Amino acid sequence: MSAGLRKKAVDALTQAEAEKELKNLAAEIAEHDVAYHREDAPTISDADYDALTRRNTEIEKRFPKLIRADSPSKKVGAAVASGFKKVKHVTPMLSLDNLFSEDDVTDFDARIRRFLKLGADEVIEFTAEPKIDGLSFSARYENGKLTVVATRGDGVEGEDITANIRTIKKGLPEKLVSADLLGQVPKLLEVRGEVYMTKSDFMAMNEAQAKKGGKIFANPRNAAAGSLRQLDTKITAERPLKLFAYAAGAVEGIEWATHWEFLGQLKAWGFPVNTDSKLCKSVKDLVKAYRDLEGRRAKLEYDIDGIVYKINRIDWQKRLGFVSRSPRWAAAHKFPAQQAETVLEKIEIQVGRTGSLTPVARLTPVTVGGVVVSNATLHNQDEIERKDIREGDTVVIQRAGDVIPQIVEVKLDQRPKNAKKYKFPDHCPVCGSKAHREEDEAILRCTGGLFCKAQAVERLRHFVSREAFDIEGMGEKNIEEFFAEGMIKTPADLFKLEKRDTDPLRKLQNREGWGPQSVRKLFDAINARRVISLERFIYALGIRLIGQAKARLLAQHYGSFKDWRKAMMAAARGNAEANAEVQNIESFGESVKDELVAFFAEKQNLEAIDDLADQLDTIEDFVQADTTNSKIAGQTVVFTGNLATMTRSEAKAKAQSLGAKVAGSVSAKTNLVVAGPGAGSKLKEAEKLGVKVISEDDFVALIGG
Ligand code: IVH
């Protein structure tokens, strides 16, 4: 049953009805708890979940005798999942009472005043902190050293995630050292906080997951939880996790007068602490902080679902204490959910540059968090099937910042009777060629190549983009229009535009928004690119898997357009030596080689390349660095610490120009570490591995000043 269907007012319930409903609610909420906390795959929205727990609390308030032993109001989170060691928190991890309106905030303040017997004009300081929507942790420090980290679990006992959380860069400090404490360390301290993923990292990760057919997460919270709770910490290490510290559990051998001071101490110890937290002196201040944060919510780089108010004075916190599962001295003021229901009118297929067919949901426009939304991403075929999303369905969509909205839930009870299961096309919707799904891939691709209009337009867009030919004035809109009017079909056509004294050109000069001057400017921009570097040329072709880095490596390896073309043709003809040669370039391997071979095996691709090369004045050879006198050619170098005479990027560029590889971390493959003042873990690692370490001065001498 969904929350909306529970219509009967609590006041009108009979005792028997209340008893039955409390039993149902306990079972239903427990199910959602497991889905949310243990499987990281909630089946209802946070707002609906809150409505269920609120209803439960209201019924319990009216019928206190009916409160069940397994009541959701007595529980925090979910019991420990199997596979992880259990850790008992020294002090239980509690949750927070929710406030839903500004009146609730006034009541919160009034309750505190009553409890502490404070007059109305006495100032109570509060902190107001963003309520991060992530996964909470408790990190135990004994005599200043990090010993164990656990998830919240059921509040009393959590899962041991020490190894997992240690993979987070700039995360928890291993030791509590800070100058202002003069060497003093607390005997025991539990630092609490939240592990989260930024919205942009979440989007990028989901995109990568969609490509390889991996698990797609509904939101950054689930992605963070799913990434952190991996038995294999290598997976956690690959995920872009971050954390904030914001509270203390057990404390022994140290004291603070206020929570604000405590936050400052955390910062001094090196914990990441949220800089958006504020110190407030009245309910008015709290409401202001709330409105201010809500206004900036969409722009923040992480998801928040509210703001947390905490009494600043620790002695008052102690006096106020706890009620059942939450403190009296803190509360969470929730934001309205950035979710909305709307109708999915149509599922459309978008064709990408390399032929990928991506499903997109066209929605009846609806406002979510102040923004009108009419499209949502559906990722891939598997995702549609897994959620059984159909045209005509009412769906719950969720928006986070600038992120493309996602569908989090299908309202099955509102499905039209005639809704048909969505059948993913087996042909390209634009050119009609067969769509093909490669093994190990979740994405279907149009096999039409350049013959496919959609692919051709996407490729042209890529071709003129900044990192490729960088043709100013040739935006997306122009490409689409010029293509539709038959003026350009392939990259070479761009360079033929000016010479062509034909109808399309006259059309160009006479079109709206264009005069002789703007046409001249466009032609100049195009002409300026008749000289192009080999690496840009290769990258601009838009061959699958050939991004900027690989294009550069190809250019570096083959040196000239002529030699590259010759080698690629040989590989495409099946020449074993040529194949082995490409495959062995640095990070390439078989898949990259296969893509290059497939590209050059297509006659039309080759024609397009040659046609383009004919139009250009020069494809510049790759300039190999002169490394004859270099003492570091072929070596792997790592820079660490501060450099005095040059910036890190300068040092890196210098080393690379002398034929060295620059790495970000020290490993057995490292030949040389250049360490400046302040060098830390990398220097230690180098010493451990016996890697040669030199100073900046030595480095300058080595590279010849
Ligand atoms: S303080 C006893 N501060 O919200 C105080 N919690 O619903 C315990 N949360 O379990 C928590 N941001 O997972 C606190 N700045 C913040 C927070 C925060 C997010 C989460 C945390 C907690 C839940 C309570």
Give the tens place of pLDDT for each residue, 364-391.
Answer: 988 786 677 899 988 888 889 988 999 9
The arithmetic mean of pLDDT across residues 27-40, rounded, is 76
Residue 658: its pLDDT value, please? 82
State yes or no: pLDDT of 628 exceeds 90. no
Q: Which of 37, 46, 50, 96 to mutate to test the pocket of ligand 1 (most atoms within 8 A of CB)?
A: 96
Residue 183: its pLDDT value, please? 64
CB 275 within 8 A of CB 245: no
Of residues 477 and 272, more confidence is placed in: 272
Query: Strand runs (DSSP E) across 261-338, as ranges?
Result: 278-280, 304-311, 322-323, 326-327, 330-334
Cα(274) to centroid(ligand 1), Å: 13
**What are the residue ranges of CATH 2.40.50.140 in the chain?**
3-75+337-414
182 confidence band (pLDDT: 50, 70, 90)? low
CATH architecture, domain 3-75+337-414 = Beta Barrel (2.40)
> Which residue from 211, 187, 191, 207 is spatially nearest to 199, judged by alpha carbons?
207
Residue 2: its pLDDT value, please? 42
Per residue in 212-260, pLDDT tens?
Answer: 777 888 788 888 998 998 888 888 988 999 999 999 999 999 999 999 9
**What are the residue ranges of CATH 3.30.470.30 in the chain?**
86-334
Cα(107) to centroid(ligand 1), Å: 20
- For the domain made up of 636-702, the CATH class stated in words is alpha beta
Q: Whose CA is nearest to atom 16 of ligand 1?
A: 131
Q: Which of 7, 8, 20, 131 is catalytic?
A: 131
State yes or no: pLDDT of 625 exceeds 80. no
Q: What percent of the chain has pLDDT over 70?
A: 94
- Of 120-134, 173-187, 318-332, 546-560, least confident by mean pLDDT is 173-187
Residue 362: its pLDDT value, please? 96
Q: Whose CA is nearest to atom 4 of ligand 1?
A: 131
State yes or no: pLDDT of 151 exceeds 80. yes
Query: Strand runs (DSSP E) across 451-518, as ranges?
Result: none
Per residue in 279-307, pLDDT tens?
Answer: 999 999 999 999 999 889 878 889 888 99
**What are the residue ranges of CATH 1.10.150.20 in the chain?**
452-489+496-529, 533-620
Q: What percent of the chain has pLDDT over 90?
A: 50
Backbone angles phi, psi at 12, to 5 degrees: -90, -5
Query: Strand runs (DSSP E) across 610-691, as ranges?
Result: 618-620, 636-640, 661-663, 672-675
Q: Which of 129, 136, 277, 324 to mutate to test the pocket of ligand 1 (most atoms within 8 A of CB)?
A: 136
Enumerate residues 6+ apart whose C-beta is below 8 A from 193: 136, 137, 139, 243, 244, 245, 246, 247, 271
pTM equals: 0.53
Residue 80: its pLDDT value, please? 44
- Please tell me the CATH superfamily of domain 86-334, with its number: DNA ligase/mRNA capping enzyme (3.30.470.30)
Residue that is written with structure tokens 């761009």 in the block: 494
The question of whether 684 is a catalytic residue gets the answer no
Cα(180) to centroid(ligand 1), Å: 28
Per residue in 159-170, pLDDT tens?
Answer: 999 999 999 988
State yes or no: pLDDT of 78 exceeds 90. no
State yes or no: pLDDT of 49 exceeds 90. no
> Which residue from 305, 307, 476, 299 is spatially nearest to 403, judged by alpha carbons?
299
Enumerate residues 6+ apart whose C-beta is below 8 A from 346: 361, 362, 391
CATH topology (fold) of 452-489+496-529? DNA polymerase; domain 1 (1.10.150)
Q: Which of 54, 75, 133, 246 to mutate to test the pocket of ligand 1 (most atoms within 8 A of CB)?
A: 246
Residue that is written with structure tokens 């190990």 in the block: 440
Q: What single string gives the DSSP state of each residue in 407-423?
A: EEEE-GGG--TTPPPP-
Quote the CA–CA distance of 97 and 308 in Å, as a whole number. Answer: 10
Q: Helix, strand, or coil here: 34?
A: helix
Q: How would you label 549-578 residue by residue, b for 16+ Cβ within 10 Å and e otherwise?
A: ebbbbbbbbbeebeebbebbebbbeeeeeb
Query: 453-464 and 476-484 helices cross at what angle (nearest 10)?
Result: 140
Of residues 153 and 609, more confidence is placed in: 609
Cα(355) to centroid(ligand 1), Å: 45
State yes or no: pLDDT of 402 exceeds 50. no
Cα(96) to centroid(ligand 1), Å: 7
State yes or no: pLDDT of 3 exceeds 70. no
596 confidence band (pLDDT: 50, 70, 90)? very high
State yes or no: pLDDT of 184 exceeds 80. no
Cα(513) to centroid(ligand 1), Å: 55
Answer yes or no: CATH 3.30.70.890 is held by domain 533-620: no
Looking from the CA of residue 130, the nearest atom of ligand 1 is 15
Residue 1: its pLDDT value, please? 41
CB 624 within 8 A of CB 696: no
Q: Which residues line ligand 1 (CB under 6 A)?
A: 94-96, 129, 131-132, 136, 194, 246-247, 308, 327, 330, 332
> Which residue from 398, 401, 352 is spatially nearest to 377, judged by alpha carbons?
398
Q: Whose CA is nearest to atom 23 of ligand 1?
A: 95
